[in-house]
């Protein structure tokens, strides 16, 4: 193992990654560089510096990636109206390619020959981190401690810390957290604990970002989103950066009981997993984006996007953001967004996102044609007869040959 001289570790400052720092030092006799990303998880990331220093780490990276995360990853994903298996808005999945990218950048900057992460051997994240790393630096070595060590429980991790004088807060760590959680600006996820029983209802006090729909205000909240090329650029007339948009929508959405989901999903590694998710801002963004597209996109373009979306969602979920197929699909999706400009007015009420209006100078809605009133000759209704007969031709031929549908 002497071929590893320096490792860049995705470091949270928690129990697992603190153990990994010392384990890497002991097992590989190498220098460890820590990287902590602020992607809007809602917790202070700066304390990770003191924890890393106490473990003897000399090179410490703590990066604010919130704007890059939303601008370059969340926004492009939402241009496609991306949903995995009909429900999951990919909050964890879309953060991993950014972390992988930064791990490789730091490896290049520091001359490291390996990267490491704290993902377990059962989950999707190991795949996402490593696919991204290999795509960006083919020769990089990846060290995944959960696939190598025998520290397979919280108790064994705590014992390891005690044996090696690893500074962790034992007072808070002795009590087992009921959930495994992941948070960023797009969502917060909950797994484990009672959620491992798909029949068990999630406890109300589990949710952190949203009130229950029952406890939401009795009066609706109206908001107006402005779009430019498929991205939200202003809320209620106030220009906002991408990260600020999502922060604002999370607050107003959570206050109105929006964005909760309880899902059993199919992991890429083969097992089913039950998780609960809070994605208030993303839920609002999805509804609003479809509303502005309904006004501005050509029918066949819109339908083609809907056909491509499940494949695009799988690409992101499975960890192939840094792949040629994702880039190809992204180019097509982004091309479609040139005309997705305008405003959407939404009513938020007790867990519901209701479209109250939409307008655009790029609208394809023609009131003179669509009206139920006199259209002054804008549409000749007699034209519909030939259209119907031509589309029915194959059906009529089949029926005349005795191929009854009854």
Q: Of 18, 79, 125, 231, which one is the catalytic site residue? A: 125
Angle at 276 between CA 270 and CA 280, to 5 degrees: 125
Are the C-beta atoms of residues 181 and 189 closer than 8 Å to each other? yes
Are the C-beta atoms of residues 37 and 110 closer than 8 Å to each other? no
Are the C-beta atoms of residues 346 and 225 closer than 8 Å to each other? yes
Cα separation, 404 vs 2, whole angstroms: 75
93 is catalytic: no
Q: Of 16, 113, 182, 262, which one is the catalytic site residue? A: 16
3 is catalytic: no
Q: Of 173, 180, 323, 363, which one is the catalytic site residue? A: 180
The residue behind tokens 């071929």 is 3
Evaluated on CA atoms 212, 214, 219, 223, the torsion sign reads: positive
Cα separation, 397 vs 376, whole angstroms: 37
Q: What are phi and psi of 175, to 5 degrees?
A: -85, 120
Q: Of 22, 66, 79, 96, which one is the catalytic site residue? A: 96
Evaluated on CA atoms 240, 91, 125, 308, the torsion sign reads: negative
3-class DSSP assignment, residue 43: coil
Cα separation, 39 vs 184, whole angstroms: 5
125 is catalytic: yes
> What one-character-per-residue DSSP string does 168-217 give?
--HHHHSSPPSSEEEE-SS-EEEESGGGGSTTSPPPGGG-SS---GGGS-
16 is catalytic: yes
Active site residues: 16, 96, 125, 180
């Amino acid at each position: 193992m002497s071929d590893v001289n320096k490792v860049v570790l995705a470091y949270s400052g928690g129990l697992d990654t603190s153990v990994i720092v010392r384990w890497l030092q002991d097992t590989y006799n190498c220098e460890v560089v820590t990287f902590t990303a602020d992607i809007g998880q809602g917790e202070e990331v700066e304390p990770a510096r003191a924890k890393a220093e106490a473990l003897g780490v000399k090179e410490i990276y703590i990066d604010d990636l919130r704007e890059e995360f939303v601008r370059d990853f969340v926004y492009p994903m939402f241009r496609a109206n991306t949903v995995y298996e009909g429900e999951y808005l990919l909050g964890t999945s879309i953060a991993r390619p950014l972390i992988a990218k930064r791990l490789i950048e730091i490896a290049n900057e520091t001359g490291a020959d390996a990267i490491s992460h704290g993902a377990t051997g059962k989950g999707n994240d190991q795949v996402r981190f490593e696919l991204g790393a290999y795509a960006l630096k083919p020769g990089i070595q990846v060290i995944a401690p959960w696939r190598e060590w025998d520290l397979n429980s919280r108790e064994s991790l705590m014992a390891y810390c005690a044996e090696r004088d690893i500074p962790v807060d034992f007072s808070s760590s002795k009590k087992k957290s009921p959930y495994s959680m992941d948070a960023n600006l797009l969502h917060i996820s909950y797994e484990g604990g009672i959620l491992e029983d798909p029949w068990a209802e999630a406890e109300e006090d589990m949710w952190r970002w949203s009130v229950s729909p029952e406890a939401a205000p009795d009066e609706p909240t109206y908001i107006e989103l402005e779009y430019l090329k498929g991205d939200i650029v202003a809320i209620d007339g106030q220009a906002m950066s991408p990260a600020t948009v999502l922060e604002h929508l999370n607050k107003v959405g959570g206050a109105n009981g929006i964005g909760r989901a309880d899902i059993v999903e199919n992991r890429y590694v083969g097992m089913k997993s039950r998780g609960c998710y809070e994605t208030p801002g993303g839920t609002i963004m999805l509804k609003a984006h479809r509303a502005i597209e309904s006004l501005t996109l050509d029918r066949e373009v819109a339908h083609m996007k809907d056909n491509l979306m499940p494949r695009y969602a799988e690409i992101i979920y499975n960890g192939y953001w840094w792949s040629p197929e994702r880039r190809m699909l992204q180019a097509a999706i982004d091309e479609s967004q040139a005309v997705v400009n305008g405003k959407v007015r939404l009513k938020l009420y007790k867990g519901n996102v209701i479209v109250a209006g939409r307008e655009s100078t790029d609208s394809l809605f023609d009131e003179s044609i669509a009206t139920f009133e006199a259209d002054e000759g804008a549409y000749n209704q007699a034209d519909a007869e030939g259209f119907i007969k031509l589309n029915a031709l194959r059906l009529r031929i089949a029926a005349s040959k005795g191929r009854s549908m009854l």
